[in-house]
Amino acid sequence: MNVIVERIAKFMRNAWRIGADDPAKVVHCLKVGLALSLVSIFYYMRPLYDGVGGNAMWAIMTVVVVFESNVGATFSKCVNRVVATILAGSLGIAVHWVATQSGKAEIFVIGCSVFLFAFAATYSRFVPSFKARFDYGAMIFILTFSLVSVGGYRVDKLVDMAQQRVSTIAIGTSICIFITVFFCPIWAGTQLHRLVQRNFVKLADSLDGCVAEYLKKKDVEKNGIEDEETNMKLQGFKCVLNSKGTEESMANLARWEPAHGSFNFRHPWQQYVKIGAAMRRCAYCLENLSICMNYEAEAPDQVKNHFGEACLKLSSASSKILRELADMMNNTRKSSKMDFLVFDMNSAVQELQETLKTVPVRTNNAKEDGTMTMSLHEVLPVATLVSLLIENAARIQT
């Protein structure tokens, strides 16, 4: 009994934290409630109810299924649903007409066509380029087609029914679009933009943290609370590693959205995916660096001292660039400081290479060199990142 209570309590605490961290989620839930209440009005008002002939159920269903947390997803589902319903509905009516003309073979014709279209539509859902945009539409197509063609066998006023159903779906989708766009809209594009920007900051924090942690002397006393905080920062790059899926789906959804804020309709969302990929390359380096940190055998202190300064300089130059990039994204224009920072970083790289050449032979330890080369490797992805972002910023400005 106690275990169950504890579990529920844990679940509730968890749920509360999610809401506190991101109030947009709570807003979304309120919007769902509002949309459903609005759609229920169709049931309560007799003239409206009679107008759609008891098919008002489909409006409720549309709202429940189509309403998503950001505008892009809702738009894409609405368009998918309406287009697929109309397409499948007219096809279903056509098949039904052919079937009635064919007399005794009616059931056979309907059965075969359902089988064939279901097969084709299900198959198309496996093609990645189609799936990314029309997955939901294909499902609605199968559903509507079978309902209309099979259902037509029993229902007499097929065209009336189809018409009513399309109008209820139109009511449902328009309520959804109205509420998502006009009540505290949550844009997929803005979320993507913020996600990428936050990832830049996280990368910079992790980079600083990892290098500092590695070079830190063992005998320094540790403060518990502080340690946890730095640990959080060190783990920041893990978020970057795992954000691939989110970025791709967001970029896909953002394409459906109309112009909002500082984003135009044809904002180059695919660029964000590329930036994300470049950031993930940086994060791989950090992952390896953190594996180095956990090595059982540590590099001796004198090696650390030898490299320490150059290393810190390089990492701080790199992280400054990352932070500047985050700022640039915030203002969506090119920063004038950028060239200067890139120059700084390049000179730090040179310095580190000089230091490497003067390393005393004895202490030429694999692990230590590991860190250095890591830092060097970070330069390459960062450079890619910079060029990508400069291009991106240029596009935004035009």
Query: In the window 332-361, what residues touch its own copies (CB under 8 A)?
Result: 353, 356-357, 359, 361
Please tell me the chain's helix, strand, coil percentages from 3-state DSSP, rounded to the nearest 5.
80, 0, 20
Query: In the window 230-269, what residues touch its own copies (CB under 8 A)?
Result: 242, 244-245
Q: How far apart are CA 35 and CA 64, in angstroms?
A: 9
Q: Which of the stretches 165-173, 183-191, 289-297, 332-340 binds its own copies when contact is defined by CB under 8 A?
A: 289-297
Characterize 154-174 residue by residue with b for buried, 16 or more Cβ atoms within 10 angstroms of its Cβ, and e for exposed.
eeeebeebbebbbbbbbbbbe
Report if residue 53 touches its own copies, rule: CB under 8 A: no
Query: In the window 3-32, what residues touch its own copies (CB under 8 A)?
Result: 11, 14-15, 18-19, 25-26, 28-30, 32
End-to-end alpha-carbon separation of the chain, Å?
Answer: 64
Quick one: tokens of 360?
Answer: 């005393």
Q: At what angle do helices 128-151 and 106-124 cross, to 10 degrees?
A: 160
Lookup result for tokens 């969302």: 269
Work out which of 86, 212, 376, 383 binds its own copies, going by CB under 8 A: 376
Report if residue 127 touches its own copies, rule: CB under 8 A: yes
Do 175 and 65 form a contact (C-beta atoms < 8 A)?
no
Work out which of 101, 102, 122, 270 binds its own copies, going by CB under 8 A: 122
Interaction mask 156-195, its own copies, x per CB under 8 A: ----------------------------------------
Cβ 334 to its own copies, closest distance in Å?
26
Cβ 235 to its own copies, closest distance in Å?
14
| Residue 42 burial (10 A CB sphere; 0-12, 13-18, 19+) | buried
| Residue 73 burial (10 A CB sphere; 0-12, 13-18, 19+) | buried
Work out which of 107, 132, 232, 394 binds its own copies, going by CB under 8 A: 107
Cβ 351 to its own copies, closest distance in Å?
13
Quick one: tokens of 158?
Answer: 């097929």
Q: Is the dihedral of CA 317, 318, 321, 326 positive or negative?
A: negative
Report if residue 104 touches its own copies, rule: CB under 8 A: no
Interaction mask 139-158, its own copies, x per CB under 8 A: x--xx--xx--xx-xx----
Report if residue 285 touches its own copies, rule: CB under 8 A: yes
Decide whether 201 or 376 has the Cβ nearer to its own copies: 376
Query: In the window 54-73, what residues touch its own copies (CB under 8 A)?
Result: 54, 57, 60-61, 64-65
